[in-house]
Structure 1
Amino acid sequence: MHGWIILDKPLGLGSTQGVSAVKRALRTAGFDASKRGIKVGHGGTLDPLATGVLPIAIGEATKLAGRMLDSDKVYDFTIAFGAQTDTLDLEGKVIAESDLRPTLAQVDAVLPRFTGSIEQVPPAYSALKVDGARAYDLARAGEDLVLAGRRVTVFELKPSPARGGGPAKLVEGVHHERSAGGAPPPPFAEGANDPQHRVDHAPHGQGSSGGRSDPMLRAGEELDRITLTAHVSKGTYIRSLARDIALALGTVGHVTMLRRTKAGPFTLSHAISLDKLAELGIARGLEQILLPLRAGLDDIPALPLSPDQAGLLRQGRVLIG
């Protein structure tokens, strides 16, 4: 069995757990990957608190997994304004707060600054290695890390159709202190680990955020949160992007939702749930959802050849016409 199974990864599941789920389904369907020497791997980590497209490579497709790691990705993500956490997600503790809320017009005006080739500082809470150790392990141990910036490309950045406003309820889930049990698990998120502080602003004259629940936002209405869509190159940290957007707006923020809608040529239209995966494994119907090897190459140009033309090409001949 060779090809791709695309999972719609649920919240809380790690990428390696997604691979394990596919291996279990293969065993159930009579394809024991370990006994048959069939390799199974994923084509790009999607962390536990993110959802969406997770390509799983099976057999010969694992040889293309590296290319999938280098592919562009598309994400939907929600920024909650007013609080920044050390992980820049809901799992971290608050390290900065602000009363300032941007308007939709201000968000629209600042987004072009984050489009194209940009310099981005990776988060301390990330899987990057520092002197052989994972950055998130060092950050959890209390080390103050500031990683070197690097160039990434944001091909497109725009408000999502469901871009949301509403009362500031999402920030209620932020941990102001870590539990007595210690640090949170390695996050899928990025964080800007500035020293703990509070950003104070003069009153903005619009009253509290409560009651701003109309989803049809006006340009001058203040936002507690907004959902954006980003088409990005490999190596782009969405939570670093969210952090920098909030700072450019004169406030702070963290990500409360992250969903990958596209990875290379694969989209949510190709993806299946874990329940459907298990169901098809039991029914021995995994072939129904197995995409061919070439599906992983659908986003590059291809030239169909006849058998004779292919033979000539292998001999180094020039094909004309």
Structure 2
Amino acid sequence: MNAPRTRVQRRPVHGVLLLDKPLGLSSNDALQKAKWLLRAEKAGHTGTLDPLATGVLPLCFGAATKFSQLQLDADKTYEAVARLGVKTSTGDAEGEVIAERPVQFTAAQLAEVARRFTGRIQQVPPMHSALKKDGRALYEYARQGIEIERAPRDVEIFKLEVAEVQAPGSFRAIKIIVTCSKGTYIRTLGEDIGEALGCGAHLTSLRRIATGGFDVSQCVTLAALEAMDEAERLDCLQPVASLLADHTRVTLDADNAGRFLSGLRRRGAWPDTAQVAVYGQQPEALLGTAHVTAGELIPGRLLSPPEIQQILESKL
């Protein structure tokens, strides 16, 4: 007879866990595991990483979930290796080989291809993606052998480094390091670079090394998190305000802070600003986000008084 399952006593947890997502685990599975380890009441991730991808996955807990969209919209940096001369059905090593071609290019041609794919480019989203059509993910159609027409999408490649590397085995490969806008498909980029070189390609590895001001050196693995006690796990959390590092800071006195938290606009000598992080003065605490237009501080996403109190108590 199986032993009864222990029920986890959930609690309010507020902050951001920078997880180094392991290979083979979905982003949601990684989130649920971390949520269980922290015994958190509320959690969400900031955009999925493929199970075959590793690297930076910011997980938001409690009040931080209110600002997760900022990470969804953030620029990201990836490191990938693509095998040349072999095209697969999925654009990565999981798919079936659908074409093989000889690999012949010069260093000058490789440099030209890198230049061509830097800046604003168009991508056709892959069939093996979570993009939805009529309420279903494209990969669901792909698994049934159904090809859906996809319109090209504009993305921006801010920085692109491409170099041939020594790969295990006899095949030729390139390493791609790319900083890009949201919505960029790195598998598609690898395939498109392979086509531009005239040989085709597919990704054999993919790692996200930075996103929205966070990088992989700040991350913790699930294995390390499991080995910690509860206090150590909580110490791994970045503060909620770390999601607003690029926002202009505005501090309000107690009277104006209370009115702001109730959703009222405040007037002041502030310049027009699109992204503002608003703090209370005494005690110093994050209240939420806002923007300033014509001297008015206009509330955006606000923390609730209980959330603010819980965050303050967690610092004691």
Q: Which category of TM-score, normalised to the shorter sequence, fits these structures?
A: 0.7 to 0.9
For residue 166 of structure 2, what is the amino acid of its counterpart?
G
Tell me the residue number matched to 1:261: 209
For residue 249 of structure 2, what is the amino acid of its counterpart?
L
1:277 aligns with 2:238: no
Query: How far did residue 304 of structure 1 move?
Result: 5.2
CA distance in 2, matches of 1:56, 1:285: 17
Tell me the residue number matched to 1:230: 178
Larger RCO, structure (CA 8 Å, separation 6 or more): 1
Asked if structure 2 preserves the Cα contact closer than 8 Å seen for 1:124 and 1:146, the reply is: no
Asked if structure 2 preserves the Cα contact closer than 8 Å seen for 1:309 and 1:319, the reply is: no
Asked if structure 2 preserves the Cα contact closer than 8 Å seen for 1:265 and 1:295, the reply is: no
Query: How far did residue 76 of structure 1 move?
Result: 0.2
For 1:274-313, list aligned pairs within 5 A.
274-280=222-228, 282-298=229-245, 300-303=246-249, 305=251, 307=253
Query: How far did residue 147 of structure 1 move?
Result: 1.3
| 1:92-111 alpha-carbon deviations (Å, 9 max, x no partner) | 00111101233333211211
Matched residue SS, 1:68: helix
Query: How far did residue 301 of structure 1 move?
Result: 3.8
Tell me the residue number matched to 2:289: none
For residue 275 of structure 1, what is the amino acid of its counterpart?
A
Tell me the residue number matched to 1:135: 138
Tell me the residue number matched to 2:268: 317
1:165 aligns with 2:177: no
Asked if structure 1 preserves the Cα contact closer than 8 Å seen for 2:88 and 2:96, the reply is: yes
Q: Percent identity?
A: 41
Unaligned runs of 5+ in 2: 1-12, 272-316
| 1:10-69 alpha-carbon deviations (Å, 9 max, x no partner) | 100110111111122113xxxxx3xxxx31111110111000001000000001111211
Structure with higher strand content: 2
CA distance in 2, matches of 1:310, 1:78: 53
Moved over 6 A (4+): none
Asked if structure 2 preserves the Cα contact closer than 8 Å seen for 1:265 and 1:297, the reply is: no
1:246 aligns with 2:247: no
Asked if structure 1 preserves the Cα contact closer than 8 Å seen for 2:38 and 2:234, the reply is: no
For 1:75-224, list aligned pairs within 5 A.
75-159=78-162, 164-166=165-167, 169=169, 210=170, 224=172
For residue 12 of structure 1, what is the amino acid of its counterpart?
G
Query: How far did residue 310 of structure 1 move?
Result: 6.5
CA distance in 2, matches of 1:272, 1:166: 28
CA distance in 1, matches of 2:167, 2:162: 15
For residue 32 of structure 2, what is the amino acid of its counterpart?
S
CA distance in 1, matches of 2:270, 2:86: 61
TM-score by length of 2: 0.75
Tell me the residue number matched to 1:4: 16
Matched residue SS, 1:48: coil
Tell me the residue number matched to 1:182: none
Query: How far did residue 288 of structure 1 move?
Result: 1.5
Query: How far did residue 122 of structure 1 move?
Result: 0.6
CA distance in 2, matches of 1:73, 1:283: 31
Change in Cα spacing, 1:83 to 1:8, as seen in structure 2 (3 Å) is: same
User: RMSD in angstroms over aligned alpha carbons?
Assistant: 2.2
For residue 11 of structure 1, what is the amino acid of its counterpart?
L
Query: How far did residue 228 of structure 1 move?
Result: 1.1
TM-score by length of 1: 0.74
Matched residue SS, 2:90: coil
Matched residue SS, 1:294: helix
Change in Cα spacing, 1:62 to 1:283, as seen in structure 2 (3 Å) is: closer
Unaligned runs of 5+ in 1: 28-32, 170-209, 211-222
CA distance in 2, matches of 1:112, 1:91: 29
CA distance in 1, matches of 2:182, 2:223: 29
